[in-house]
């Protein structure tokens, strides 16, 4: 059923049109068929190309693969055929299916584009791009450092780039962020408000300026530099937004008069919002007052219209990207590599995220009762269903165990 759904979307045709040129027409295993087989591999829950060894014993998988599952070496070589141009096409296809449900299902006229990076430690030897870099868990371990983007309203991936482990997020990512904003804007329309939410790495003048020029709002955490901390500590005009049972303030907000030199030089208007609270709910909190039991969080935005407290809560919802990245790692294996070749691993990452978007789209349109489920449970209910492939005469039929939610 899932394969029929993909064919109806034109996925098979799009794969042929975009990637047939990576192999000669005389090839036994066409490139589009290989990529389609890998999508089925990842949908079934395998994380590496090596998983083909186990699925080669499944009659339905073999039938969908064309009757024969190719050798692992053939698949490795096919993934290594990807270059920058073909990787760009694959990333655009992944984003297209991630954005497809946004315009139709979005009832409100606000969309949130969340951008984040993650560290994927590499435990193999001689893996291209596996370099030591920031790694909070495995210090000094070679890793990759992909940057990812999601639409918060649909939990779909609309941007991904695999990078070497020593790559930071900064001004070099401006063209990438601009491209992701442009494709999201094309999907949601000109009248939709767009917020681009980034963590402290978004406190970069080039990135904030680029987002502003694209007609979107940026909402990021601020880097707590000494000059900023000094201005906050000496600020006195606070507005109370929450009190405890004794009517004592527990949460206060303020917009402070502060601008970094780079903002002034470029004429960039940045609103600096400070939230100080006695509640230790989430995030990193900074103590700035010796005589007060307050901790502070600072947010930067170009939204001069919204309430400070509302913007702080709007940023807090960006935390939803963290469990989603956890799902991409646990259920889709985006941190697992199958090849020594960097481009091959990049292609596998994009194929896994494409598979995620396709599965979410399938559930959204065909199995709405499962919309709130995560990928492992969706697989159990809709993909990994016991059945028997029966051949009678010249016809094949699939007899499955009953699944009420599939009817």
Is 98 in the same domain as 113? yes
Q: Report residue 356 as tokens.
A: 């995620």
Please tell me the predicted confidence (pLDDT) of residue 140: 86
Is 178 in the same domain as 259? yes
Q: Which of 291, 325, 359 is the last residue of a domain?
A: 325
CATH at residue 124: 3.90.350.10
Q: Which of 275, 298, 325 is the last residue of a domain?
A: 325
Is 215 in the same domain as 204? yes
Please tell me the predicted confidence (pLDDT) of residue 392: 85
Name residues of the chain where pLDDT drops below 50. Answer: none
pLDDT tens-digit map of 171-220: 999 999 999 999 999 999 888 999 999 999 999 999 999 999 999 999 99
Please tell me the predicted confidence (pLDDT) of residue 103: 67
> What range defines the domain where residue 91 resides?
86-325
Confirm whether pTM is higher than 0.75: yes
Measured between alpha carbons, how far is 228 from 260 in angstroms, rounded to an integer?
9
- Cα-Cα-Cα-Cα torsion 358, 362, 364, 369, nearest 10 degrees, comes to -130
Q: Report residue 30 as tokens.
A: 């066409």
Please indicate, yes or no, if residue 212 is contained in any of the structural domains: yes
pLDDT tens-digit map of 39-83: 999 999 999 999 999 999 999 999 988 889 999 999 999 999 999
Q: Report residue 308 as tokens.
A: 């400070």
In total, how many domains does the chain have?
A: 2
Is 248 in the same domain as 347? no
Please tell me the predicted confidence (pLDDT) of residue 285: 64
Is 370 in the same domain as 225? no
Is 55 in the same domain as 157? no
Helix, strand or coil, per DSSP, at residue 61? helix
Please tell me the predicted confidence (pLDDT) of residue 281: 61
pLDDT tens-digit map of 89-112: 999 999 999 999 886 655 558 999
Measured between alpha carbons, how far is 206 from 176 in angstroms, rounded to an integer?
12
Is 32 in the same domain as 161? no
Please tell me the predicted confidence (pLDDT) of residue 42: 97
Is 148 in the same domain as 211? yes
Q: Which of 277, 302, 325 is the last residue of a domain?
A: 325
Is 303 in the same domain as 381? no
Measured between alpha carbons, how far is 103 from 122 in angstroms, rounded to an integer?
37
Is 60 in the same domain as 91? no
């Amino acid at each position: 059923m899932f394969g029929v759904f993909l064919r109806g979307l034109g996925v098979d045709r799009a794969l042929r049109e975009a990637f047939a040129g990576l192999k000669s027409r005389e090839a036994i295993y066409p490139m589009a068929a290989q990529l389609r087989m890998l999508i089925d591999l990842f949908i079934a829950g395998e994380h590496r190309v090596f998983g083909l060894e186990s699925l080669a014993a499944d009659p339905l998988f073999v039938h969908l693969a064309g009757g024969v599952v190719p050798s692992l070496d053939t698949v490795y070589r096919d993934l290594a055929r990807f270059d920058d141009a073909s990787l760009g096409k694959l990333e655009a296809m992944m984003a297209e299916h991630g954005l497809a449900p946004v315009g139709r299902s979005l009832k409100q006229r606000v969309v949130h584009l969340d951008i984040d990076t993650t560290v994927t430690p590499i435990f193999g030897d001689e893996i291209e791009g596996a370099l030591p870099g920031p790694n909070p868990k495995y210090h000094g371990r070679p890793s990759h450092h992909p940057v990812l983007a999601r639409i918060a309203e649909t939990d779909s991936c609309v941007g991904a780039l695999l990078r070497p482990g020593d790559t930071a997020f900064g001004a070099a990512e401006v063209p990438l962020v601009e491209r992701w904003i442009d494709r999201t804007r094309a999907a949601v329309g000109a009248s939709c408000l767009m917020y681009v939410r980034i963590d402290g790495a978004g406190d970069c003048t080039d990135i904030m300026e680029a987002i502003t020029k694209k007609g979107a709002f940026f909402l990021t955490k601020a880097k707590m530099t000494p000059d900023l901390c000094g201005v906050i500590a000496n600020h006195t005009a606070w507005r109370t937004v929450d009190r405890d049972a004794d009517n004592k303030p527990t949460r206060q907000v303020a917009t402070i008069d502060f601008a970094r030199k780079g903002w002034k030089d470029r004429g960039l208007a940045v609103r600096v919002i400070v939230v100080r609270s006695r509640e230790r709910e989430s995030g990193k909190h900074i103590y700035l007052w010796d005589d007060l039991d307050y901790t502070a969080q600072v947010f930067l935005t170009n939204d001069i219209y919204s309430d400070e407290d509302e913007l702080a809560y709007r940023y807090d919802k960006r935390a939803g990207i963290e469990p989603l990245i956890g799902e991409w790692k646990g259920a889709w294996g985006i941190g697992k590599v199958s090849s020594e070749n960097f481009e091959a691993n990049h292609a596998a990452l994009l194929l896994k995220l494409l598979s995620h978007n396709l599965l979410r789209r399938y559930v959204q349109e065909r199995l709405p009762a499962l919309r709130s489920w995560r990928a492992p449970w969706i697989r159990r209910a809709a993909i990994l269903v016991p059945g028997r492939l029966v051949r009678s005469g010249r016809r094949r039929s699939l007899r499955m165990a009953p699944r009420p939610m599939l009817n």
